[in-house]
Each structure stands twice: as structure tokens, then as C-alpha cells.
Amino acid sequence: MLGRALLIDREFARRGNAHTENPCGEGADDKWPATWRLRYPTADFQVLKQMSKRKSSDKRVFALLGGGPASLAAAETLRQEGFTGRIVMVTREPHLPYDRVQLSKALDKPVEKLLLRPESFYKDYDIEVIRNASVTKLDTKSQNVHYATGESQKETLHYDKVLVATGGTPRKLFVPGSDMKNIFTLRTPEDAAKIAQLAKKGQKMIVVGGSFIGMEVASSLAKKGCDVAVIAMESVPFERVLGKKVGASFARKLQKEGVEWFGTSQVRLFRGNEAVNGVELEDGEVLPADAVVVGAGVLPNTRFVEGLSLDGLLIFRKFRDMIEGVFRASEGREAEACDNLFAAGDVCAYPALRTGQRVRIEHWDVAMQQGRVAAQNMLGKFQPFTTTPFFWSGLFGNLNLRFVGHAPEALDRVIIEGDVSNMEFISYYTEDDEIRAVATVNKDPVAVACAELMRRGQMPRVAELMLGTVNAEVLLQRLRDLSKAPVRQDEENRSAASKPRPARKAVSWGQAEIREFDPLSEDENALLGTWWVVHPLWTPGSSPMFAGPAAVPDKGIFR
């Protein structure tokens, strides 16, 4: 490679070497990849930035609250950017940061195989990890974090800057019988191990929740030979994320796999003595159960900061006032004394790239990227968060679902390309004349291409889709064409991607309108200089597809 190298992300951070062992990770059946992808920057013949270590002369302390992908990405980025102060990660988990997204896909995988970094990594780069520690208070006046490591042992950590990335806690069902044995939520390896222990062939397993955690758990249990039933408030799976049209295709898939679907249903109570043996629905129907897994989403872990006041000013509540990694004061007043307070992951809200609407997205990739951006801001580099949301799911060993973008208000305006009956299709979620999100089923390269086209502001208009002038192949070719432009990475060009696009006239859904395609703006033309390598979330047996002038070494990067 002459002057260029590939920078590789594996979910949370760049790997130490492009040719690392098992770079794709493993999923539920050793086929589903982790959500990592090749990133768009280039480097001068260097796969990974040199990472600094702590210097005794640097007295700064950066505290990272939480042990998930956001904190780990922040820690790694701080060292990559030359920070030589003390980095202290405080986590309530007994483990080092691990790949949580694999839990629902591989219930019985040992935690040792889920670790995102070996213990030696933290020692090599002087990253302290305080485990089994629960944060009890964050005092922004004294700049102290109070935490407990046992029933009576309380500790205090003074910080110069702090990142709140404490993730979420699974929602529980507060109905009669909810405290019985064999009713689980899934958040930790210990939770997964308990569920896996009961997941024997013929066991009657009930899953409550029809979104990603619930569906992935149902898939894992069905593959183990369990009799599985899913109870959900939605009429079809993934309705709140993918909409009814796409969700209906997954409902048919559940039926083919022998999983019962009880839509528009709620749990009235759990039956049993010490352990659950049945679930009673609101309509009175009773489902026999040997175990129940509740996958009803998470609540942000923010109790230790909610209602925090500074000189009588409520500076934030439930992280709704977070922007670009820094909290802003309510009522338009600046909270200058809290410039050293940052947030990332499930606990924080941020302005969406195109709309400016404040959103909170509970995706692994988003958390990881926010951790990186937060670290840059902690170092005073003031970077906005412009990553396009991206997540994936693998179901029943033969379904690859990818979703890019954010379009909660556009779920009923969907343009579908492909074969829905055979579960090979692309769904474009539209608002006015813009494509706000894309879901793909067994069409992985298209999702990755759309992620980059969205980032560049180069997605086609809705009218083009309706007229049939744009399809998956056109999107892939468009990205290939864009990647041929010279490499330019100055900050001015990069910032153009975050500028809101002008409002467009709504497309008539009764008939397609023929309209002239607007020429690219100067800013959009400048964006063509960003170099990109497309990686379709590689799985064993598939062929990597590259777009861009990347020099790939012998045997490629997938050893």
C-alpha cells in the first residue's frame, strides 16, 4: 500500500491491526457478523494511530461512567489523540467491556469470547477500569463522582472532565406474579446464561416484546428446539421500527419457523407458585410457560444525575438538552460550569443530522460513534455528531436485517424494492421528497452504501424511486462513482455534510411527478473528495465489495 491503509472499525474502535484474528466476530450461529465496517478516512501508511500512555506529569483525570461501547470508544480515542492524563472507567458490571449485542443472538456464548478488548489492552494503555461499582451521585460543583463498590464501601473520584455513558436498564413488567422465578430480562452474560440453561428442546418459552431483543431471543430459542410464543402490543414484529408493511413479512417468517405470534396483546398476570408456569393475557387466554423473557426496551440509567441543579438552575433533565457532546442549560441559559460534562450512548439525546430534531437512539453503533465524538470534545476539538444511525439483526440463521437512518414519522410511507415473499428486499422510508431511512433484508451491501450516501447528502429523491430511475444497483454505482473523486478531508468540507438540506416539495403519492434533478451544491461537490471503502458487513462465504481506490493487500483484509 503506497501512502494509504484501511482503517477498520469493529463496533467500538479501530482494531490494533487490519489483519487481526477473527476480524468479523461471531454471532448467534457463528455466521452473523458484529456491526463493524470500514470507515471513510484514509491514513498515511498507518492502520492505527499511535496510542499514548499516562504520564505522571499530567495530573488531569477524565472519568468515564459506564462500561459499554461508548466509554471504551472514548477511552481509546483519548489515547489515540495523545491524552496522557488519567483515564478511569467506572462500571457496575463485573466484566471488562464486552459485545452486548451478541447476547440475544448467542445465549450460551461465554463472556470470554465476547470481550471487546483483552485485559492486557487496558494495562498497556493505562486505562483504569473500576468494576462492580455503582455511581450514586455526580457532583458538578465539586467535580466529584461518588460510587459504591460494595454494601458499605463508598468511594469518591475527583475529575477534570466526565463522560456519562451509563447505558440503560431493561424495562420490567409490573403485573401480578412478575417476581416469580424463571422470568428474565436480558442485559448481561449472566442473564443470557440463565436463559440458555432453561432453553431445552420442547420447553415452552414465552417472549414478551416484538422488537429487536424479543425477536432475536425468540430466534435463538427456536433454534434450540424450544416451543416459542411472542407476546407484543404491536400487530406485527418490528412495527415501531420498520412499520406494518415490512413487519408483516417477518410475521410470516415467524409462522414458517413455528413461532407463535400474539400481536396487539398485553400480559395481565403471570401464573405459578414459586416459578412461573403460565402467562395470562388481557383477553383471558392463558399460555403455558416454563420460562419468560421480557424484551420491552430499556430505561436510561440517569437517576444519579436527573434533577441535578447548579446555583438553582436545572441544567438538564433526562439528557434532553445534550448537544454535540456538551450539555446546554434549560431556558436558554448557558451552564458554563458544566462545560466539563459530556454524554454518549443510550442516555443522551442529540440533534438528528438532517432534521435537527432531538432524538435518543439506543443502537450499539451510535453509542460507539458518540463515544468517539465525546472524546474529541473532551479534548476541546468541538466536533459535532454527524454519524448516520445504523444497526443490524440476524434471525433464524438465514435473515440479515440492516437498518440505516432514522424515520419514526415515515413508517407508513414505504417504497419496497425486491422480493418480499422470499425475504430479499429493500424498504425506503420517505418523508416529503427525501429518503430518511432504509431497511434491507439479505441485501447487506445496499444498506452500507446508503449509510455513506446519507452521510454525504447524496441519496436520491423519492420521485426517482417512484419513477423507477433509481434502484439498488444504481445506488451502489453512485457510491462507486463518488469514491473516484480525489481525497480531500479538510474540516470545512466535512462540516458540509451536517448542514440541513433545503426543504423540498412533498411528492404526490397519487401519481409520480417528473421533475428536474437539482445540480449538486458547491458544498455537496466538495464532499465528493471523501474516500470510502464499502464493506457489506461481511459474512463467511460472501465476497467483499470495495468501492474506492483502496489497495488491498494479498489475501485481502479478511483472514
Q: Which three cell numbers stand for residue 106?
A: 448467542
More confidently predicted of 51 and 314: 51
Q: Could you read off the pLDDT of 198-235 as tens digits, one per residue?
A: 999 999 999 999 989 999 999 999 999 999 999 999 99
Q: Which three cell numbers stand for residue 27?
A: 454471532
Q: Looking at domain 182-296, which CATH architecture does it have?
A: 3-Layer(bba) Sandwich (3.50)
Q: Which CATH superfamily is domain 1-44+390-559 in?
A: FAD/NAD-linked reductase, C-terminal dimerisation domain (3.30.390.30)
- From the candidate CATH numbers 3.40.50.300, 3.50.50.60, 3.30.390.50, 3.40.50.720, the one assigned to the domain spanning 49-169+300-378: 3.50.50.60
Q: Which three cell numbers stand for residue 7?
A: 482503517
φ, ψ at 341 (rounded to 5°): -115, 125
**Nearest-angstrom CA–CA distance, 221 and 214:** 11
Q: Confirm if 35 and 11 have CB atoms less than 8 A apart.
A: yes
**Nearest-angstrom CA–CA distance, 251 and 469:** 31
Q: What is the pLDDT of residue 6?
A: 29
**Nearest-angstrom CA–CA distance, 4 and 557:** 14
| Three-class DSSP category at 146 | strand
Q: Residue 510 CB: number of other CB atoms within 10 A?
A: 6
Beta bridge partners, 144, equal 139, 158
Is pLDDT of 324 > 50?
no
**Nearest-angstrom CA–CA distance, 436 and 429:** 6
Residues 30-50 as b/e (b if ≥16 CB within 10 A, e otherwise) read ebbbbbbbbebebeeeebbee
Q: What is the pLDDT of residue 140?
A: 82
Q: Confirm if 62 and 340 have CB atoms less than 8 A apart.
A: no
Q: Which three cell numbers stand for residue 48?
A: 492505527
- Pairing relationship of beta strands 276-281 and 267-272 according to DSSP bridges: antiparallel
Q: Could you read off the pLDDT of 65-101 as tens digits, one per residue?
A: 999 999 999 999 999 999 999 999 999 999 999 999 9
Q: Which residues are CB-neighbours of 183 under 8 A, at least 6 positions away?
A: 270, 276, 291, 292, 294
Q: Confirm if 227 and 204 have CB atoms less than 8 A apart.
A: yes
> Of all helices (H) and strands (E), which one includes residue 160?
none
Beta strands (DSSP E) in 364-405 are 390-395, 399-405
Fold agreement between 49-169+300-378 and 182-296: yes
**Nearest-angstrom CA–CA distance, 317 and 302:** 9
Q: Could you read off the pLDDT of 464-505 as tens digits, one per residue?
A: 998 889 999 999 999 988 877 654 443 444 444 444 444 433
Half-sphere exposure for 56 (CA within 13 Å, toward CB): 0
Q: Which three cell numbers stand for residue 529?
A: 473528495
CA 52 to chain centre: 27
Least confident of 3-12, 370-379, 399-408, 446-455: 3-12
Question: What ranges do the domains of the chain cover?
Answer: 1-44+390-559, 49-169+300-378, 182-296
**Nearest-angstrom CA–CA distance, 24 and 11:** 10
Q: Which residue has the cell 479478511?
A: 558
**Nearest-angstrom CA–CA distance, 139 and 338:** 10
Is pLDDT of 162 > 80?
yes
